[in-house]
């Protein structure tokens, strides 16, 4: 019998779980997470279906795998929801959803748990930071007063029309908070953020993410001192990384090599800065899971120089699975998995580039310390497991599902 209510040996109930997301593409952090999660849910006996807003391309090789999937763009919202209704989900698990009408309709018909991967509804631009005169985190409560600094402090696009559109969207998203039966976030930092914006403590849950680790290729390349994985924007701190690498090289008396894997509007400027400072940096562009694994298998250290308050920083767990310690500014949810002196260095934001360089030099230049931090990284990786994440989700789903 496949009615979504069979009982597992462990006592948990099997459920019919609808995943909702903007896209069906298995790419980026959310796509990678959903791909792994859907496999986990299926392996544990749950029935899983997918509702997504974007177009579906059956020929695409990087689609999220689901036996039952419906595209709002292809079928229209009414037909897609009719198919969902016929499928009879016990619970919906919604993720990034730009078209809020979909979440509004889901919450009206089924118990819907929302995973907030970013500052959705708690910040007009979603960046939760100012970019002028320098990048720094914003601690404002999202509301009409946020429109005052938006343009002069460059919170987002320098366009008043976009500003108003983003404000309207954030307000509409915030209105949905009370309609979700539960809200999940990846770090205590993010839980505090949503509680400050009115979500109920009993329905706001911290569920740390987990790393899905690919196997590196059999080809072994040269060692890498420092690796960076992420989008090349001002908020991600690429400029700080390159300048800190120059200082760290001076501190340990040899060039520190850095591999930058990612793309973005800041790439050309970073390449010029590296050349002007004489930093031995290579720019790999975007890498797939195998390429990421290859880089991490050769890296001594992962750098996360983010200036904005990262919600979690999943790449740190991906590195930890390879025994790679990390350094990062103490912003946002980074401290959820990075403990200073245990699996790397957590640098106070006020320490700036010099402090980041000191942390980098202390690890790259000290083999014994690096080995200690590497063991600490592997220990961290064993705490943030897929099974622990799934168990926490199942408890929430079981509590809120439609019986």
* Residue environment code for 195-206, b if the CB has 16+ CB neighbours within 10 A, otherwise e: eebebeeebbbb
Pick the CATH number of 224-383 from 3.30.70.240, 3.50.50.60, 3.40.50.2000, 3.40.630.30: 3.40.50.2000
Q: Is the pLDDT of residue 309 over 90?
A: yes
pLDDT tens, position by position, 330-387: 999 999 999 999 999 999 999 999 999 999 999 999 999 999 999 999 999 999 999 9
Between the alpha carbon of residue 337 and those of residues 56, 128, 269, 314, the distances in Å are 36, 21, 31, 9
pLDDT digits (tens, 9 = 90+) for 115-172: 999 999 999 999 999 999 999 999 999 999 999 999 999 999 999 999 999 999 999 9
Number of helices followed by number of strands (H, E) in the chain: 14, 15
What pLDDT shows up at residue 289? Answer: 84
Domain spans in the chain, listed from the N-terminal domain onward: 16-210+386-400, 224-383
Q: 304 vs 31, which has greater pLDDT?
A: 304
Token reading at 159: 């366009």
The answer to whether residue 231 scores a pLDDT higher than 50 is yes
Burial 319-354 (b: 16+ CB within 10 A, else e): bbbbbbbbbbbbbbbbbbbbeeebbbbbbebeeebe
Provide the Cα torsion 229, 230, 236, 241; round to 10°. 30
Give me the residues paired with residue 129 across strands.
Answer: 137
pLDDT tops 60 at residue 253 = yes
Q: Residue 219: helix, strand or coil by DSSP?
A: coil
Same fold flag, 16-210+386-400 and 224-383: yes
Correct CATH for 16-210+386-400 of 3.40.50.2000, 3.30.470.20, 3.30.2350.10, 3.90.550.10: 3.40.50.2000
Percentage helix, strand, coil for the chain under 3-state DSSP, each rounded to 5:
45, 15, 40
Pair 329, 307: CB distance under 8 Å:
yes
State how far the Cα of 248 lies from the Cα of 70, in Å rounded to an integer: 51
DSSP class of 138: -
Task: Give the pair of three-digit tokens for residue 27.
Answer: 């790419």
Per-residue confidence (pLDDT) for residue 55, from 0 to 100: 84
Tally of CB atoms within 10 A around 370: 18
Cα-to-chain-centroid distance, residue 253: 35
Q: If you ran DSSP here, which 8-state letter would residue 179 be given?
A: G
Question: What string of DSSP letters covers 102-133?
Answer: HHHHHHHHS-EEEE--S-BTTBSSS--EE-SS
Mean pLDDT value across residues 178-186 = 98
pLDDT of residue 402: 66
Q: What is the mean pLDDT of residues 2-16?
A: 57
The pTM of this model reads 0.92
């Amino acid at each position: 019998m496949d009615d979504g209510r069979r009982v597992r040996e462990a006592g948990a109930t099997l459920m019919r779980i609808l995943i909702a997301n903007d896209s069906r593409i298995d790419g980026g952090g959310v796509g990678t997470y959903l791909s792994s999660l859907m496999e986990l849910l299926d392996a544990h006996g749950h029935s899983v279906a997918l509702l997504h807003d974007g177009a579906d391309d059956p020929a695409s090789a990087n689609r999220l795998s689901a036996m039952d999937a419906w595209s709002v763009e292809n079928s229209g919202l009414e037909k897609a929801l009719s198919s969902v209704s016929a499928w009879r989900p016990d619970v919906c698990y919604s993720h990034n959803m730009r078209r809020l009408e979909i979440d509004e309709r889901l919450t009206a018909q089924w118990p819907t748990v929302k995973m907030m991967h970013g500052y959705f509804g708690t910040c007009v631009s979603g960046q939760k930071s100012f970019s002028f005169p320098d990048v720094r985190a914003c601690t404002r409560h999202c509301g009409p007063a946020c429109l005052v600094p938006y343009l002069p402090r460059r919170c987002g696009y320098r366009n008043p029309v976009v500003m108003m559109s983003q404000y309207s969207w954030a307000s509409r998203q915030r209105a949905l908070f009370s309609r979700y039966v539960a809200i999940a976030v990846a770090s205590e930092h993010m839980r505090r953020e949503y509680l400050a914006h009115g979500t109920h403590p009993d329905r706001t849950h911290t569920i740390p993410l987990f790393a899905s680790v690919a196997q590196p290729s059999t080809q072994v390349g040269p060692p890498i001192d420092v690796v960076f994985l992420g989008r090349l924007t001002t908020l991600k701190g690429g400029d700080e990384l390159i300048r800190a690498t120059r200082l760290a090289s001076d501190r340990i008396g040899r060039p520190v090599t850095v591999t930058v894997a990612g793309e973005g509007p800041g790439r050309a400027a970073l390449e010029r800065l590296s050349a002007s400072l004489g930093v031995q940096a290579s720019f790999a562009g975007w890498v797939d899971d195998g390429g990421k694994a290859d880089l991490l298998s050769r890296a001594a250290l992962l750098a996360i120089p983010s200036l904005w308050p990262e919600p979690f920083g999943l790449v740190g767990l991906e590195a930890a699975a390879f025994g790679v310690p990390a350094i990062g500014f103490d912003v946002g949810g980074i401290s959820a998995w990075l403990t200073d002196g245990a699996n790397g260095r957590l640098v106070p934001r006020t320490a700036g580039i010099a402090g980041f360089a000191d942390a980098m030099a202390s690890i790259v230049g000290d083999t014994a310390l690096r080995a200690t931090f590497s063991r600490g990284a592997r220990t961290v990786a064993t705490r943030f497991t897929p099974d622990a994440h799934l168990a926490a989700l199942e408890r929430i789903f079981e509590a809120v599902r439609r019986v």
